[in-house]
Amino acid sequence: MSALLAARGLAKSFGAVVAAADLDLEVEAGEIHALIGPNGAGKTTVLGLLSGELRPDRGRVFLSGREVTHAPVHERVRLGLGRTFQLSCVLPSFSVLENVAIAVQAREGSSFRFWKPASPDPRLEEPAFALLERLGIDALADRPAAMLAHGERRLLELAMALASRPKVLLLDEPLAGVGSKEAQRLVEILARLRAEVGVLLVEHDMDAVFRLADRITVLVNGRAIASGPPSVVRADPLVRAAYLGDDSER
C-alpha cells in the first residue's frame, strides 16, 4: 500500500537560498503529518512543490502511487489533492455560498455549460450548504466573502478545499491570525477530518501541532532534521537546539 502523497528526493533552490534539499515526505491515509520549522525553513515552498505551483529542481512527487512531478495544479486537484493558502485565498466578490458552490462545480467536472443559470442549482448549492453547516458558517452563506472576518475566511477556505473531496489536504498555517475561540473550533474540525483525508499541516501553533499530529517532520534550511511521532520529535536534541529550544513563536 503506497502513501497517499509521497515526495522523493525533492530539491529546490532560489539562487543561493536552499528551500528544499533532498527531502523525503509521505502522507498516509488517516494521518495528520505536521511540517514544522522556523520561518524561512522552506515549508511553504514544499507545499508549492507538492501542489504543483512550483517545479522542483530535482526529485519526484507521487499521488496515490502515480507520478505527478510534471502535472499542473488543476490536474493534481483532480487526482485528489486539495490545499489552503497561508494568506487566505477566496473569491472576494462571490458570496460565501457561491465560493463553495464553485468548488463543488469544479469537482462535478461539468463547467462547459453556457445556458442554464448556475444559481439556483440544488446540485451545487445543497452540497455547498451542507459543508457550510458542518463548519458552522452557514449563517454567513449570503455574505460577500470580502466582508468576512479573518477566522471566518479560514473556515470558508477549508470548506472550499473539502468541497473537492480531496484524499490529501495541504494546509498552510490554518490557525495563523485566528482568534483563540475559532482556533479551538478549527482544531476540533481538523481532528475529525483525519478519518476522511490525509493532512499535511504546516503550522506555527505548537499546542495545536502536538495535539493534532500523528507524525511531525522538522524542516530547517530545506532539510528534514527529524521525523517521527510527536513524543520522539519533542525529545530529539537536534530539534530542541534548532527549533523548539529557542522557540519564541509560541
Per CB under 8 A, does 184 bind other proteins? no
Q: At which residue does the C-alpha cell 452540497 appear?
A: 127
Among 45, 164, 217, 227, binds other proteins (CB under 8 A): 164
Q: Which residues are CB-neighbours of 87 under 8 A, at least 6 positions away?
A: none
How many angstroms separate the CA atoms of 137 and 156, rounded?
8
Among 139, 147, 149, 238, binds other proteins (CB under 8 A): 147
How many angstroms separate the CA atoms of 243 and 24, rounded?
20
Among 106, 130, 193, 244, binds other proteins (CB under 8 A): 106
Among 17, 73, 232, 238, binds other proteins (CB under 8 A): 73
Per CB under 8 A, does 118 bind other proteins? yes
Among 160, 199, 216, 242, binds other proteins (CB under 8 A): 160
Cis peptide before 56 (omega within 30 of 0): no
Per CB under 8 A, does 153 bind other proteins? no
Per CB under 8 A, does 149 bind other proteins? no
Shortest Å distance, C-beta 112 to other proteins:
6
Determine contact, residues 141/53, Cβ cutoff 8 Å: no
Per CB under 8 A, does 125 bind other proteins? no
The angle that helices 150-163 and 122-134 make with each other, rounded to 10 degrees, is: 130
Per CB under 8 A, does 129 bind other proteins? no
Determine contact, residues 221/41, Cβ cutoff 8 Å: yes
Beta bridge partners of 11: 58
**Residues interacting with other proteins, by CB under 8 A?**
51, 53, 72-74, 77-78, 82-83, 85, 89-95, 98, 102-103, 105-107, 110-119, 121, 144, 146-147, 160, 164
